[in-house]
Structure formats: structure tokens, C-alpha cells
Structure 1
Amino acid sequence: MKLNRRAFIGTGAAAAAVLQAPMVLASTSGRPQVLVIGGGAGGATAARYLAKDSNGEIDVTLIEPSRSYYTCFFSNLYIGGFREISSLAHSYGTLASDYGINVVHDWAVDVDSEARTVSLAGGAVLPYDKLILSPGIDFVDDAVPGWDTSAWNKMPHAYKGGSQTELLKAQIQAMPEGGRFAMVAPPNPYRCPPGPYERISMVAHLLKETNPTAKILLVDPKEKFSKQALFEEGWNRHYSGMIERIGPDFGGDKVEVNADEMTVTIDGVVENVDVCNVIPAQKAGRICDMAGVTEDNWAPVSGHTMVSRLDPDIHVLGDSTNQGDMPKSGFSANSQAKVASMAIRGELLGSNVFPARFSNTCWSLIDTDDGVKVGASYEATDEKISSVSSFISQTGEDAALRKQTYEESIGWYAGITADMFG
């Protein structure tokens, strides 16, 4: 059956209006207070399910600085010319108007876990009974020598949706005829394992149409990568001679960049490029550090409830977690959010809690109507979230099946964004 919006959530999405954020210092309702930091696939989903399923018995506040949320998933399709940037933007109005969620557009700047409060940049201090952290990723300092936050307008990461994605596409479109695009891929673990390689595919698709003599240099510290056989088959079929990958055997793990000179140095050899997409090593969003729930860059959690192993009143979702076998993806965060919201409702209201089960699929587009996927189902054990079954597209599939896979991904996007934002 083709996965579509209705199959994913069972309901349609209402049009969302931009919400003016109220300034809230505390609640006097007497109801339990749950704060959610981060309005992406994990945080927005958790806030919506908590509000929807508690029937008003829990006060839910969602803290997210952006009034329009741009999904990182599907942003590669914008680079390739398959979507408009506006199709990736979503607002929080329906979560407020239809679900009664208090949406606060501000930065969370501190967590006091003893007092159970969150401080906001605007000066408010919000109390909580339970706190959900879903801040996505941040980047490891000095992960790529020569690159830091001061360089990311010249060498964008474009690994958070929005302006960076637009910047990278504009740079690619402005490349000289026969120019050279470079990507520095990240080490494991990182957000969306197939993401860099789908991006290479979409850059190649764009260049094939607009700058067919251009070349792509992929510098990769990993020996293997997600869907490698599928991507390499597709690159040979659609973009023969355009893409060169340098792995660790040839210096892909010994890379420096110079944003001012627009060079990439690979094991001492200097390469001149016209555009460079640097995707550094990643870590949990910094609010997790502030809350004291990280170890070795990530937040360890129990798969049964997504509760932090370091603080029983804090749950962590999505890319920031160290939870076991699930990849860091939007689908994973959405799935984890439902488990966490059920566990929190059970603890605060005494409602039923069922064994945690999760699912994930990652779709990738290689060229027009050439879609592939990988995914799995998962269950929680005391040690971790464990994979119990998996699937992956196969090399050599016919064009009709690849087109069906791509269309399935379009239905999934409509479904998950409606599940997140209502």
C-alpha cells in the first residue's frame, strides 16, 4: 500500500497561523506542567500528543525560537529543484489554537534541574514537573580544522533547515562553468545517515541540468556509509564521471579547509574548489549540556520511556540522544516522542502505559523518480532500543518500483508534518 498522509496519521492537517508568543512566568492552574524545548519532529510531536491525549489535564508549553520551522529532512530535495523552500516551512499556530499548547518563541538559556525551572533569553523563568528536550544537533568545535561558526557563511553546513540550505543552493547555482563542488562529510554518529549522500545526488542533479561539466569532490572520513551500494549504483547510472569520493584510505579522514582561499587540504594535498559544504562532527544540542544530561557528547536515555539516565524528570528525544540502534532522523524523533508522551501521561495522570515500540524509515532521492529507502522496527530493552526487523531497497530495482518509493516518501512527508504541527 502506498504510504500517504491519511495512512500516516489518519487525519488531515489544518492551515496554521503564526502565533504571537506570550510571556508566561508560571501557571496557577494547579495542573502538572510539562515544558518542551525544541519544536521539531520530536518536540512538536510530543507537545501535540501530550496536549491531545491528556484532555486538558496537563499544561503544555513548547519553547521554540523560530516562528517558522524548516524541516531538515527533505531539504536536499529543495537543493535538487524538486521542492520549493516554502514547502519545508511550518508554523505553530494550530498547536496553540486547536490543542491549547502555550507556544513561546524564545531561546531556552539555562535549566535548573534542582529547582525544576527553565530560564529564557527574554527573562522569563518557567517551572516544570517534567521537561522534554528535543533540540536537535550542535557541532563539535574544531571538528574540521579551519572551519568554525565564523566560516559557515562561506562554507555552509546546511545541516539545519532554512537559511543555510538556501545559501548553499545559491552558491551552487553561482558556480562557474566547469567548477568544482566539495563536501566534507561527517564522522559517525550524525543526523540522518543517508543525508550527505542524498545531498551529493541532488547537487549532481542540479549541476547536470545547469552546469554539466562541473565536478563533485566528496571527502569522507568513513570507510562505509548508509545505502552505499544504492547511491554508488545511482551515481554511475545518472552522473557518470561527475562524482569523486575520497575515503579514509586516501586521506578522507585528514582534512583541513580554508574558507578565505576556498581550499580543501586532503592529507597535505591542497584542492581548489568553488563551493564547499562542510558537515562537521555533531553532538547533542547545547541545552542538554546545560541540563546536565549528556555524556560523551550525547544524552543517554532509557528506551522504555526516553527518560534521561541522569535525571528522572527530563526526557530527551531525537538527534540528541544516545539510545541504541535507532538512527538520528526525523522519523525516529517522531516515534520516540509518542513513547515519551505516553510515559509522562502515565506518571502524571496514571493513564495506561504500553511497551515501547518504535519505527523508522529513511527515504533518499538519487535522481528524478529514483527513490530508495532503508528502515527498521525497534523495541526497548533495559540496555537500549534494539532493532527487531529491517529492510532496504535493492540494487537493480526497476524504474516503476523506484518511482513508487519516491511517491511513498512524499506521502510520508505530508503525514509526519501534519502529525507534528496538527
Structure 2
Amino acid sequence: MKINRRDFVSGSVATGALLAAPAVTGQSLPRVVIIGGGAGGATAARYIAKDSAGEIDVVLIEPTRTYYTCFFSNLYLGGFRDLASIGHNYGKLAAEYGITVLHDWATGIDREAQTVSLAGGNVLSYDKLVISPGIDFIEGSIPGWKQTDQTKMPHAFKAGSQTELLRAQVLAMREGGTFALIAPPNPYRCPPGPYERVSMVAHLMKQSNPTAKILIVDPKESFSKQALFEEGWNAHYPGMIERVGPDFGGDKVEVRPGAMEVVIDGEVEAVDVCNVVPAMKAGHICEKAGITEGNWAPVVPATMASRVDENIHVLGDSADQGDMPKSAFSANSQAKVCAMAVRSALTGSRTFPARFANTCWSLIDENDGVKVGATYEATEDKIARIDGFVSQPGEDRDIRQQTFEESLGWYDAITADMFG
């Protein structure tokens, strides 16, 4: 079944215009400050603004003026979409919903004073703070790779210029060359993402460089939708893709960006393009706020409130919440629960039991789409999985085409839900 905007979106509007940052003092309405304008932050901003009908001052902090979605960026790599189709701006959130959108970096959080400091010099007070900054990388998790090496060995797990660079590198590969992907350890953003990326790079190379090879170096014993991907690779790209798991040194890897080499358990492999996806952690602002335990920020499942500070909510990739994968669908689902809780706390509006859902679609080749998903509920300890579904090996081609078309409908729906 194709998902359309009406099926996916619920809600209505407020009005306003883009404003300069308010001062710390002098506000008359309760204020929610939101850090991060992706699937979690933009959705939370929109739902808090529209459902409070002007009773809450909503400020969204996002450094980029055009936000490129990490989800569907692999389809750009494969040539199924252009870059502009995954780029979105915040004009409607400002103009139609009265949200103050500040294109700046949040550099500090004073939890006692309840203020957020920005790189541009502004200091914003808040009654509630929502943090949805996505992921950052754990420096040193891939020996030999630093973030300063991302121009030679891109990660492309934050979409935009990195995605453009990786596609350009693939297209410029020598005939018969080798593309290497260094996969991350769990947990990380979009569990099927690296393997959909391999599929899309293979699709591109099948047309432009059919004798090229793909090497996956993977520290994990298994990965999301493994049977589906491996079936698809054998069918569409026979002989092109090799995966090295931990049994053969996939967990003992080093990279040498200057020489374009990958060292697997001491054995040196010369490569032409290397996509390094390091181990991940919560966005750095979570650490600066002092709300992380280990690499992630633990939250109360029913409200997405930080377990460290009840006036801060954490969404999406940065949250340590339980069973939900780190995905755009998850962040969007969590944002609606958070928006309801924040609105209730500030205006006394009614709340309902928290329910969550997620689906992750992946494209293996043209019209060969697969998916995995589940529904969840909030328990005292975590967001707990209730039930789930996954595509099956050997499915009819019509089913796979319908799954791909469903994903297109979902993309249109979720981006409308985020950006208006």
C-alpha cells in the first residue's frame, strides 16, 4: 500500500514570520527551544507550534539553511534522485507556524539557568528544551581515520556535501577499481543504511564500471535485512560484492587515507574509494549539557524527557530509549510524543498513552525495495517493541516494486510532516 501525505500527517496551523533571537528576559509566553532541525527537531517544532495555537513561543536552532535528509541520500548516490530532491528549507515553519528559526550553532547549555548559548552570541532562555542533534562520530574508532580525513575518505552519514563527494569519487573510479566501505559497530544511525549504500554504489557501477569490485569490512556478526541484501546482491550484482566479517578480521581494520589503503587484520588492500563510517555517539551538545551516560542520552520512554533533567527532552539518534532503531521514522514518531508531553506541561492540555512506530525501507536495485518495521509502547524502563514485520526472501517482483513505491510516498509524507 502506498503511503500518502494524508495517511501520514495529522494536524493544522499557526502564523508568523522569521524573527531575530528574543532576549533572555521579557518573554510573555512559555518558550520551547529546539536544537536540531531534522526528523526529530523539525517535527517537534511544528507540532508544538500548531497544536498549542500560539500559546507557546517555539524557537528552532539549526545551522544549515538547506537541510539534506540522510534518509534517501543513498538513492542520490545510486542515481535514482538528484540532490535537490532531498534538500529542504525552513520557510514554511517560520511563515505558516510562527516558529522562530535561527540558523546558528548551539554552543552551550546552562541547565540551572535554563539558557542556550549560540555561536553568534545570543543567549536564549527556555522553559523546555528539546535536543535532536543527530549523531557525532567517536574519534579514533577507526584507526588511521580522523574527521579531517573526510575529504579523502568520506563518511557521508551526514548528508549534503559529503554525499556529493562520495558520488563524485565513485564516478571517477578507474575501470575495475575497488570501492571499500568500513561499516560501523552497533548502535548507529539507520541500521540498513550502509548495506543499502553498497547496493546503490553497485547499481551505479553496474552501469558505468561493471568490472569494479566492492569490499565491505564489517565488525558485526550480522546486520539488518542481511538475507534480503545478500539475495539481492547475488541476483543483481553477482561477483561484485565481498563482505569481510569479524571471523576474517572485519573487526581489526585500519585505514591509510594518504595511501588509499585498508589494512584488514594486518593484510593491506589498495582501494580506489573508501567510505569510512565510524562508530557513533550522541550529538556533542548532549555531552556539553551533561545529559549523556556513555555514548548516548538516556530518556524517559513516555515523554522522551532526559533522565538527568526533566526540562530537557532528547529525540532521535542521540536518545538511549530502548528498542527503537536510530532512524528518521523513529525520530519523527518520538517527536510527536515529545510535543504532546511538552504542550501538556506548559499549557495543561490533554495527553494520551505514548505509542511509537518505525519502518525502514531500502532499495537494492531498480524497483527492488525491501522493508523492516515494528510498533512500540512506552514501559517504565524503555520503549519496548510490541510486534514487527520484514520483507521476505523470494518475494514477487510486483511486491518489491510496491514496497519501493510505498517508500516514495513515505518520503513525501514525512518531509511534509517535518517542514510543513
TM-score where L is the length of structure 1: 0.97
The aligned counterpart of 1:213 is 211
Looking at structure 2, the residues matched to 334 and 191 of structure 1 have their Cα atoms a distance apart, in angstroms, of: 14
Conserved 8 A contact 1:21-1:105: no
Shift of 1:295: 0.5
Q: Check 1:27–1:413 CA distance in 2 against 1; reply closer, same or farther (3 A cut).
A: farther
Q: In the alignment, does 2:71 pair up with 1:73?
A: yes
State the match for 2:357 in structure 1: 359
The structure 1 segments of at least 4 consecutive aligned residues displaced by more than 6 Å after TM superposition are none
State whether residues 178 and 212 of structure 1, in contact with CA within 8 Å, keep that contact through their aligned partners in structure 2.
Answer: yes
Contact 2:40/2:334 (8 A) holds in 1: yes
State the one-letter code of the partner of 1:348.
L
Query: Partner amino acid for 1:5?
Result: R
1:389 counterpart residue number: 387
Equivalent pairs, count: 417
Note if contact 2:21-2:124 (Cα within 8 Å) is conserved in structure 1: no
* CA displacement 1:199-236 (0-9 Å, x = unmatched): 00000000000000000000000000000000000000
Give the direction of change, closer, same or farther, for the CA distance of 1:396–1:68 in structure 2 (3 Å limit).
same
Which AA in structure 1 matches 2:169? Answer: Q
**Residue 30 (structure 1) shift:** 1.3
Q: CA deviation at 1:10?
A: 5.6
The one-character-per-residue Cα deviations of 1:244-301 (angstroms, maximum 9, x if unpaired) are 0000000000000000000000000000000000000000000001111100110000
Identify if the C-alpha distance between structure 1 residues 307 and 11 changes in structure 2 by more than 3 Å, giving closer, same or farther: closer
Asked if the contact 1:300–1:322 (Cα under 8 Å) also holds between the matched residues in 2, the reply is: yes
Q: What letter corresponds to residue 65 of structure 1 in structure 2?
A: P
Shift of 1:3: 1.2
Is 1:6 matched up with 2:6?
yes
Aligned equivalent of 1:123: 121
Match of 2:137 among 132, 136, 139: 139
Partner in structure 1 of residue 226 of structure 2:
228
The CA deviation at 1:22 is 2.4
What is the aligned partner in structure 1 of residue 333 from structure 2?
Answer: 335
- Secondary structure of residue in 1 paired with 2:234: helix
Structure 1 counterpart of 2:80, from 79, 82, 91: 82
Q: 1:418 aligns to what? A: 416
- Is the contact made by 1:5 and 1:12 (CA closer than 8 Å) also made in structure 2? no
SS of residue matched to 1:183: strand
Match of 1:93 among 88, 91, 95: 91
Match of 1:16 in 2: none
Match of 2:403 among 405, 408, 412: 405
- Distance of aligned partners of 1:124 and 1:274 in 2 relative to their CA distance in 1, 3 Å threshold: same
Structure 1 distance, partners of 2:345, 2:266, is 56
Does the 8 A contact of 1:318 with 1:330 survive in 2?
Answer: yes
1:258 alignment counterpart: 256
Letter in 2 for 1:89: G
Deviation at residue 8 of structure 1 after TM alignment: 1.3
SS of the residue aligned with 2:384? Answer: strand
Residue 6 of structure 1 aligns to which amino acid in structure 2? Answer: R
Q: What does 1:29-68 correspond to in 2, within 5 Å? A: 29-68=27-66
Residue 157 (structure 1) aligned with residue 144 (structure 2): no
> Which letter maps to 2:224?
S
Checking the alignment, whether the CA contact within 8 Å between 1:217 and 1:243 is kept in structure 2 is yes
> 3-state DSSP class of the match of 2:306?
coil
SS at match of 1:301: strand
Q: Which residue of 1 aligns with 2:275?
A: 277
Asked if 1 retains the 8 angstrom alpha-carbon contact of 2:29 and 2:56, the reply is yes
TM-score, scaled to structure 2: 0.98
Measure, in 2, the Cα distance between the counterparts of 1:320 and 1:78: 25
Distance 2:259 2:291 in 1: 39
Match of 2:367 in 1: 369
Per-residue Cα deviation, 1:40-75 (whole angstroms, up to 9, x for no partner): 000000000000000100000000000000000000
**Equivalent position SS for 1:373:** strand
State the partner residue of 2:312: 314
Q: Does 1:200 align with 2:205?
A: no
Deviations 1:348-370 (A, max 9, x none): 11101111000000000000000
Match of 1:246 in 2: 244
- Which residue is equivalent to 2:183? 185
Give the corresponding residue for 2:266: 268
